[in-house]
Structure 1
Amino acid sequence: MSSIDLQTSAHPGVALARDYRTPDGQPDPLSAPDQPRIGMPLSRLDGPRKVTGNARFAAEFALEGMVYAALAYSTIARGRIALLDTTATEAAPGVVLVMTHENVPPLQSPPVFLTTAKGAAGDDHPVLQNDRVHWNGQPIAVVLAETQEQADHAVTLLQVEYVQEPAMTDFDSAETREPSNVLGGPASVTIGHAERAFEDAPCRVDAIYRTPRHNHNAIEPHAVTLAWQGDELILHDGSQCVDHVAYSLAQVFGIDESQVHVTSPFVGGGFGSKTLWQHQILAAAAARLADRPVRMALSREGVYRVVGGRACTEQRVAIGADEKGHFQALIHTGKAAMTAHNNLPEPFTQATKCLYGADHIQLAIRVADLDMLANTFMRAPGESVGTFALESAIDELAEQLGIDPLELRRRNEPERDPTSGLPFSSRHLLEASRAGAERFGWARRSVRPGARHEGEWQIGLGCATATYPYMRMPGAAARITLSRHGPVRIDVAAHEMGMGTATVQTQVAAARLGVPIERVQFNYGDSSLAGVVLAGGSQQTAAIGGAVIAAHRALVEALLELVGSDSPLAGLSSDDIECREGGLGVPGDASRFETYERILDRAGHSEVLVEADAAESEELSHFSMHSFGTIFCEAAVSTITGEVRVRRLLGAFDCGRILNAKTATSQFRGGMIMGLGLALMEETQFDTRNGRIMNPSLAEYHVPVQMDVPEIEVMWTDIPDPHTPMGARGIGEIGITGVGAAVANAVYNACGRRVRELPITLDKLL
């Protein structure tokens, strides 16, 4: 469990969020004029602990008697182990245990993410239970030693021979199938007769777009430090779903979920990858076999071998329009790589479902099952690569029609969700787009590609729409402990992966409780805390917020039960009450007010504790709920080398209420930087001859560094969504969406070369 010691800094001149009413018509306490905490650019409360080295990550816990683990990885894509000679390894200095399929304890297959309510595993392969090999890089042995160096050396001494079997590793030649579901919904959506309408349309674009594999490269590689205490398993893990990991490990080891305790106080980036993979299971099995605590920290290469990433896609986007640009047909279909052992077809049509109105729509995803490491979630799965295809095609159509790309998008702005028919809970995309265009100087864009030069550089502007859905998963709960003199403690099994969760939730709780920020202690990162919360799908803020709202109401009711007949609050209900100035009172009536301390004193209580579950997320059944934005890019292309330099980026977003201006800006910019990597450099090199990832390091897998990142400007509407718990929608993932297309469209405007396959490397422009 982690808690934050509070520090604040003044930021004068910051506008507060607009006042609005909650879905039940009540005034929202978060926008009260005497609560200037929501929206303020409060610095991250965990910052001092991180910069001073006092924040402990998963591989920084030291347990008495701990040994260190190293993994051996297969070098074939499919087959079986014919020989695994451990003699030299066992004789190496410091070796405590060599665990293979021949001596591993019995383990059940782990529950895959999205197949059960709390499943967290990337795949359902049996973990080291037989001699079978399912992908190139699969762990085949674990070595425990007294030091990490001894373990790393000893694992190189293993002698392995394989019997290879035919493997399917070529995405282009693999047969495809329709998956049973995509994120729990259908794999295809059909409205009208899109192909027929497309053929009849006077203006048409029909193109194939390709995106490569991507691998996770969080600043903190995956690691776990764990020990068995009798039949209880204690883990310090870098996790974005502590309760899910606890449940899933309990299934693997055949024990009760209460016997698994996961802590994850600090996580150095997750982006969808910090769930359950084989390394945690193997570390726990080896610890049980050796009867010693174990630390397993994956190398950067180890992350590529064991932890899944984004799958490659091939997408067709076909748009048929009339002469004025009205979409008569919108087709977005294609295929993505997957394995038969996981449950995540890359959902690249998600954005297309909600962005544009069209008379006829056809969306479909097929998958090609390959013998490879299971793919998994990676920041904005689907939307990040799907918007590249969709928004590039719209740019192509705009040029054909002679219509400004922003204007073409405006002409196809839907009144209701184009595929579900639901009304939008809140949609201010056009306002954000207009403001962003004015700020960026979009009017100065040259209509003719290649018209603007600065020496050897051709300069172009491009734009694309960004979107990501609002979600609020079930299971969230919060525990509030109000002490007479101590801090107000908020306990939620939530996660801090660097996005500012603890800071924002402290602000929200302080505003709701009517106490200074310094008095709130937000505890998180521990499976023993309240609720089941997942840091994923940009939904954790809303999930926690809903839980805190429920717990806050329970707290007010509990306090009112304590007041005596001589209290100024006697006879009042929670509907009559507001929290302000460290107590409860009637709005507008200073005489009917009592501090928390006074209420507890009267009742003879030192503290009061309440816990409540968040209300069901019924809003999603009544409204289409999404965040939106427009990405603007200025790119320069060298006429000599074909090098692309992105010179400016601007993101104008509509994400509901912004709860903390400083952390929100950081999140938007971080997503846009990741989008730069997607656009210009990120690509997993996959050898189709043997299914092996060939660039498993940051030396060869390129991500944006300081000199690659230009000026990035961020702006937002700050219009609360009246149907979310705090008026806010998630912002962690929308920043990456649209960036790939905005860059590609700017490159085309600069030099006249249309790139339909990411990344946009110089060889594609020469």
Structure 2
Amino acid sequence: MSSTTNHIGKATSRVDGSAKVTGAAKYAAEFNVPDLVYGYVVSSPIAKGKITKIHADKVLALPGVIHVFSHENVPSLAWFDRNYKDDVAPGGSPFRPLHDAEVKFSMQPVALVVADTFELARYAASILEIEYAETKHETDIEQKRDDGHEPGRGKTGYQPPVRRGNANDGLSKAEHRIREEYIHGAQHHNPMEMFGATVHYHPDGKLTIYDKTQGVYNCQQYVTKVFGLSKDQARVVNLFMGGGFGAGLRPQYELFLSVLAALELKRSVRLSLTRQQMFSFGHRPHTLQTLELGTGPDGALLGLKHYALHETSRFEEYTENVVNWSGMLYQCPDVHLSYQVAPLDVYTPLDMRAPGAATGSFALEVAMDEMAYEAGLDPLEFRRRNYADHDQNKKAPFSSKKLREAYDEGARRFGWDQRPMAPRSMREGNMLVGWGVAGGVWDASMQKAAAKASITADGRLTVASAAGENGTGTYTIMTQIAAETLGLPLEAVTFRLGDTNQPEAPVQGGSWTAASVGTAVKNACEALGEKLLKLAKKMTDSPLKDAAFDDVEFVNGQIRLRLAPEQSVVLRDVLQTSGEREIAAESSAMPNPVNMQQFSMHSHNVVFVEVKVDEELGTVHVSRVLNVVAAGRILNQKTARSQVLGSIVWGLSMALMEETVMDHRFGRYMNHNYAEYHVPVNADIRNLEVVFVEEEDPHVNPLGVKGIGEVGLLGVAAAVTNAVYHATGKRIRQLPIYLDKLL
């Protein structure tokens, strides 16, 4: 069965765009439910110690204050299974809000005030007196350089580094060598929409939970485990999300606290976190990395060593695939990769767009630039000479890899052949001009997912799966896939997501939603198509009575023979003749284990950057960015380009602005607001260009897609750093590149 109604690959505008710009799209803290009360979280001012006394009487005496929840009065309904892990939890024991008097990190939630209005809850929280016994804390990774250890089990998806050959031998034979350290501080996700939840308490005791999350099923599993509820008692919904970037992969504490309050008070509860409280859970960890590279006289890599140390919490062992990429991206016979974590008195770090890769590839790609200069080679030519035709970590061929074509296309478009090798050799007035290049690689993953499709007598198709939509275009591409599969116009298709009453889907992360949910949607629509064909064959004088499913195609609202298109039936006639008001089918999708074993599946990219640096002031202006991506089949040119544009902006932010600053005297992040946690604004962004290299991949999944949400970020920060070196002759190895580092 095939369809010639071509929707996939087109630059289709978002089907949910109107809802977003008109305000019809509702976010977690915007659902209006009856009998609603409001919660406000009280955060710990200390980083480590114990709560000795909570003086709640003054707060409870305020008219309209309903309750103050703390470890002193957590009801018995909130029980904890110490073996429970959410879908993306690292090893250890997850943080349990209000579990006991112990304070494990600064801004830990230590109480929840519930009142008739948000304003009253906020005021009451501000005057709640809590006494603490403070103990010495450790929050500085620099003090733990010799105190790290190799991770144990790690989180889901963590792969221990693979070593091959003898890196010391390879380096000893090298004619050119470098050894440098690369550092970036903690970074916080900072999505526009802050975390919040609205819990609708129904008269029968059931809950409808509107939570900001990237995985409604993950949150439902958490709630049912913690509170001893059945799935029927806890429906979780998230229809729109104002940015997540990984922060919503795990259930955050607003979910626990709002459900706790709703169950205890038997009232509907809304809880929203403040911008400052958004810095109290999850972040890209502060990381120290050392890279050592060596080449022969021809520029071929002979040895590579990559070591990384980053922070984790005391209660969980967060792990990232930081160094693994260095054993995969370039050809090298002797590679030693090592990775350690160090426990600190901070909250557990959390996946943040391209977790591990954004960290590790930054260090690798700057080191590659340094190595190219040491060997006297153009940085792009150096990468070409060390191109890896197969995955040396896995010892398997790539399912597809068009990175070499991306190099060529990017160099042509950017004009790379006009780049002089020497730093400080390009100038515009008082501006030093520099060009830099860097690249990246990211997993092309697929997870188990399910979807349901149904069509009504008027020809309208509805498809549902409990996937997430954090702004990436899920509504739109799933609509395109469904419409193309059954040959319908986009306006005849509705895709529904984000509800545990729908077929199960994985958390939205890892760039696997298009492959996973998209394949499930395709399968469900094909299963529905088979049912429709069976009904069509029963019609009087049906031209399709002898047709097999592979003999037909769904085009323009019809089922027709592929080899004789004039023999067709109209879909609406099929349903109306059958007497059925609605036909439905459900299906699922899983990765192919044989292909996963035989092939290494990844997206690749290369980024070219032009910077202009004021010679006197040290200010850096990024005037041009070209990001060339090889990521399999592109489902929607418009939404795909938007994802990569967002990634580029984030990469510029990582390179030049973004850093969460810890005051180790207090163990607290000090710039926990939008005024001092710097991210780009429109005036910072100049000419950005995105190019997709055509790449067919028959092995990665039935749709041939790879996902682009993460890979587009990779290479950007490193390319900026390398361009700054080319412009100024100063090599910066610690992000962000503030102007004082260039003066």
On whether the aligned pair clears a TM of 0.5, the verdict is yes
The alignment status of 1:680 with 2:656, answered yes or no, reads yes
Find the partner of 2:206 among 232, 246, 255: 232
Find the partner of 2:527 among 554, 570, 575: 554
Structure 1 residues 396 and 727, CA, compared in 2 at 3 Å: closer, same or farther? same
The aligned residue for residue 176 of structure 1 is 148
The aligned residue for residue 568 of structure 2 is 593
The aligned residue for residue 24 of structure 1 is none
Is contact 1:69-1:142 (8 Å) kept? Answer: yes
The aligned residue for residue 10 of structure 1 is none
The aligned residue for residue 19 of structure 1 is none
Distance in structure 2 (CA, Å) of the matches to 1:330 and 1:599 = 64
The aligned residue for residue 619 of structure 2 is 643
The aligned residue for residue 604 of structure 1 is 579
Is contact 1:310-1:346 (8 Å) kept? Answer: no
Distance in structure 2 (CA, Å) of the matches to 1:587 and 1:103 = 69
Shift of 1:319: 1.2
Letter in 2 for 1:166: K
Find the partner of 2:716 among 718, 739, 751: 739
The aligned residue for residue 765 of structure 1 is 742
Structure 1 residues 38 and 388, CA, compared in 2 at 3 Å: closer, same or farther? same
Alignment of 1:243-258 (within 5 A): 243-258=217-232
Instruction: Select between 157-166 and 337-346 the one with higher mean Cα deviation.
Output: 337-346
Shift of 1:602: 3.6
Is contact 2:558-2:570 (8 Å) kept? Answer: yes
The aligned residue for residue 121 of structure 2 is 151
Find the partner of 1:41 among 11, 16, 37: 11
Structure 1 residues 258 and 350, CA, compared in 2 at 3 Å: closer, same or farther? farther
Distance in structure 1 (CA, Å) of the matches to 2:355 and 2:151 = 16
Alignment of 1:22-101 (within 5 A): 29=2, 34-101=4-71
Instruction: Select between 599-608 and 665-674 the one with higher mean Cα deviation.
Output: 599-608
The aligned residue for residue 198 of structure 1 is 171
Unaligned runs of 5+ in 1: 1-26
Shift of 1:111: 7.8
Shift of 1:38: 1.7
Shift of 1:496: 1.3
Distance in structure 2 (CA, Å) of the matches to 1:609 and 1:247 = 27
Is contact 1:119-1:248 (8 Å) kept? Answer: no
Shift of 1:93: 4.0
Give the secondary structure class of the aligned counterpart of 1:190.
coil
Letter in 2 for 1:543: S
Is contact 1:446-1:460 (8 Å) kept? Answer: no
Alignment of 1:392-403 (within 5 A): 392-403=366-377
Structure 1 residues 123 and 701, CA, compared in 2 at 3 Å: closer, same or farther? farther
Structure 1 residues 112 and 469, CA, compared in 2 at 3 Å: closer, same or farther? farther
The alignment status of 1:388 with 2:362, answered yes or no, reads yes
Distance in structure 1 (CA, Å) of the matches to 2:158 and 2:240 = 33
Letter in 2 for 1:179: P
Give the secondary structure class of the aligned counterpart of 2:316.
coil
Structure 1 residues 599 and 242, CA, compared in 2 at 3 Å: closer, same or farther? same
Distance in structure 2 (CA, Å) of the matches to 1:146 and 1:678 = 41
Find the partner of 2:256 among 253, 263, 281: 281
The aligned residue for residue 218 of structure 1 is 191
The aligned residue for residue 337 of structure 1 is 311
Alignment of 1:462-611 (within 5 A): 462-474=436-448, 476-562=449-535, 563-564=537-538, 566-611=541-586
Is contact 2:173-2:296 (8 Å) kept? Answer: no
The alignment status of 1:669 with 2:645, answered yes or no, reads yes
Letter in 1 for 2:650: M
Distance in structure 2 (CA, Å) of the matches to 1:158 and 1:484 = 60
Distance in structure 1 (CA, Å) of the matches to 2:169 and 2:64 = 70
Shift of 1:601: 3.2
Structure 1 residues 691 and 98, CA, compared in 2 at 3 Å: closer, same or farther? same
Letter in 2 for 1:316: T
Shift of 1:81: 0.4
Give per-residue Cα distances to partners, 1:1-59, cap 9 Å, x unaligned. Answer: xxxxxxxxxxxxxxxxxxxxxxxxxx8x4xx6x42322211111111111111111111
Instruction: Select between 162-171 and 746-755 the one with higher mean Cα deviation.
Output: 162-171
The aligned residue for residue 302 of structure 1 is 277
Shift of 1:168: 2.4
Alignment of 1:358-507 (within 5 A): 358-474=332-448, 476-507=449-480
Is contact 2:466-2:502 (8 Å) kept? Answer: yes
Once the two structures are aligned, what percentage of the paired residues are identical?
37
Give per-residue Cα distances to partners, 1:419-474, cap 9 Å, x unaligned. Answer: 10111111001111211111111122221101122222111000101221111112
Distance in structure 1 (CA, Å) of the matches to 2:324 and 2:496 = 34
Letter in 2 for 1:590: P
Structure 1 residues 184 and 717, CA, compared in 2 at 3 Å: closer, same or farther? closer
Letter in 1 for 2:430: E
Distance in structure 1 (CA, Å) of the matches to 2:245 and 2:659 = 17
Give per-residue Cα distances to partners, 1:127-149, cap 9 Å, x unaligned. Answer: 21211111111100001111111
Structure 1 residues 439 and 112, CA, compared in 2 at 3 Å: closer, same or farther? farther
Is contact 2:86-2:222 (8 Å) kept? Answer: no
The aligned residue for residue 106 of structure 2 is 136
Give per-residue Cα distances to partners, 1:457-493, cap 9 Å, x unaligned. Answer: 111000101221111112x001010112141000111
The aligned residue for residue 699 of structure 1 is 675
Structure 1 residues 294 and 257, CA, compared in 2 at 3 Å: closer, same or farther? same
Distance in structure 1 (CA, Å) of the matches to 2:718 and 2:591 = 36
Shift of 1:292: 1.6
Distance in structure 2 (CA, Å) of the matches to 1:640 and 1:652 = 33
Letter in 2 for 1:646: V
Is contact 1:121-1:277 (8 Å) kept? Answer: no
Is contact 1:111-1:248 (8 Å) kept? Answer: no
Distance in structure 2 (CA, Å) of the matches to 1:303 and 1:207 = 34
Is contact 1:178-1:187 (8 Å) kept? Answer: no
Shift of 1:110: 7.0
Give the secondary structure class of the aligned counterpart of 1:248.
helix
Letter in 1 for 2:651: G
Find the partner of 2:690 among 714, 718, 725: 714
Is contact 1:180-1:186 (8 Å) kept? Answer: no
Give the secondary structure class of the aligned counterpart of 1:746.
helix
Provide the TM-score with structure 2 as the length reference. 0.95
Is contact 2:485-2:526 (8 Å) kept? Answer: no
Provide the TM-score with structure 1 as the length reference. 0.93
Letter in 2 for 1:704: P
Instruction: Select between 336-345 and 703-712 the one with higher mean Cα deviation.
Output: 336-345
The aligned residue for residue 7 of structure 1 is none
Alignment of 1:110-129 (within 5 A): 115=85, 117=87, 124-129=94-99
Is contact 2:613-2:728 (8 Å) kept? Answer: yes
Shift of 1:289: 2.0
Give per-residue Cα distances to partners, 1:386-409, cap 9 Å, x unaligned. Answer: 111000000001111111111111
Give the secondary structure class of the aligned counterpart of 2:142.
coil
Is contact 1:121-1:248 (8 Å) kept? Answer: no
Letter in 2 for 1:546: T
Is contact 2:91-2:318 (8 Å) kept? Answer: no
Distance in structure 2 (CA, Å) of the matches to 1:755 and 1:615 = 44
Give the secondary structure class of the aligned counterpart of 1:191.
coil
Structure 1 residues 258 and 198, CA, compared in 2 at 3 Å: closer, same or farther? farther
